[in-house]
Amino acid sequence: MRPLVPEANVIQKDWRRVDLRVALCYPSTYRVGMAGLPVRLLYALFNRREDVLCERFFLPGEGLDLPSPLSLESRRPLKDFDVVAFTFQYEWDYLNAVRMLLMAGIRPLREERRGGPILLAGGPCVVENPMPLADIVDVFAVGEAEVLLDPLVEGLKEVCGGGEGAMRDLADVRGLYVPDVSEGAERTWVRSLDEAPVPLAQVIPLVEEDSPLSSPFGRTFNLELVRGCGRGCRFCLIDHITRPRRERSLEKALEILEEGLRLTPADKVLLIGAGISDYKRLLDVCEQMVSWGLRISVPSLRPEAVSEELTRLLAEGGQRRLTIAPDGPTPGA
């Protein structure tokens, strides 16, 4: 079967040999969803388990001209899966999630659904506040997936197997919130980025640069250097939901990069991190990438972090524009 999108490192599993089938949904277009790290990370985390099958869904349109959402891996509809899992990076994607459910013939309101897949939701918007979606979603993942995924999967397997009281047991798992059952949820988080699992063979589209399916950053390997920021700016959600700030060591970052580029046909590295300006070894990472002949893309930088040496390295790495964050140039911002 011809794939909906030509990609490298797609994972296809035998449906007969798994216990849980997860539809990983990004409620926006393919171009947006595959540009960042969340989908790549969740896809790798679910599929690293032999008892789980995970396939990806995106909002139809802009290169995916489908009448309803179909999985990229097997072209199956959402209704064929045990779990429909949405990752919410932006609040305005709530409506897109409802659109995807309606297009798939799934009733959005939890009270109106009888049988069918369990609706799971996670991501920054859920960690911030799951309540806007409480009438729709069955289970919320409040925290970071690397810590939460294994107990979540075990609980979902019990629920899908029809275990008595399984949903109530799921509500007892730290980091999970079940509407009308849980009294609250405690956020889970990764203690050490160096010890956290990382997607090495990352999925990237093998399309022309002018394709509507092409990533705005090109064929990139996504490398997370830091999680969180720690400066405490009142206007910044990410800083408050990803505390404490954690850094990946230079040694581990380069190890990931070397192995990842061996497995991923990318010629560019997208550095990930909300507070990447404060990463202590940023110059060293950039210098190593330039020496390997790689192109570099970085997120916005604080003004005081833009040194002559960093600018030179980024230019040698092919970066032609920089986004400066003038809203947080001082310690009191």
Which residues of the chain are under the pLDDT cut of 70? Answer: 164, 327-333
pLDDT for residue 328: 55
- Closest by CA position to 122, among listed 189, 201, 193: 189
pLDDT for residue 333: 45
Q: What is the DSSP string of 85-112?
A: EEE-SSGGGHHHHHHHHHHTT--SSGGG
Would you state the structure tokens that stand for residue 224, as one six-digit string? 């997370």
49 vs 60: CA distance, rounded Å: 28
pLDDT for residue 323: 84
Please write the tens of the pLDDT for every residue from 66-92: 999 999 999 999 999 999 999 999 999
pLDDT for residue 141: 97
The end-to-end CA distance of the chain, in Å, is 54
Q: Which residues of 273-288 are buried (b: 16+ CB within 10 A; e: fewer)?
A: bbbbbbbebbeebbbb
251 vs 281: CA distance, rounded Å: 10
Would you state the structure tokens that stand for residue 305, as one six-digit string? 């972090």
pLDDT for residue 293: 95
Please write the tens of the pLDDT for every residue from 102-132: 999 999 999 999 888 999 999 999 999 999 9
How far, in whole angstroms, is CA 271 from its chain's centroid? 14
Place of tokens 């969740």: 42
Strand partners, 120: 85, 139
Q: Name the fold adopted by 7-177.
A: Rossmann fold (3.40.50)
Q: What is the DSSP string of 241-271?
A: HSPSPEE--HHHHHHHHHHHHHHS--SEEEE
In sequence order, what E strands does the chain have?
A: 7-8, 20-26, 52-58, 83-87, 118-122, 139-141, 176-177, 204-205, 220-224, 226-227, 246-247, 268-272, 295-297
pLDDT for residue 156: 96
The residue extents of the domains of the chain are: 7-177, 217-316
56 vs 72: CA distance, rounded Å: 6
CATH number of 217-316: 3.30.750.210
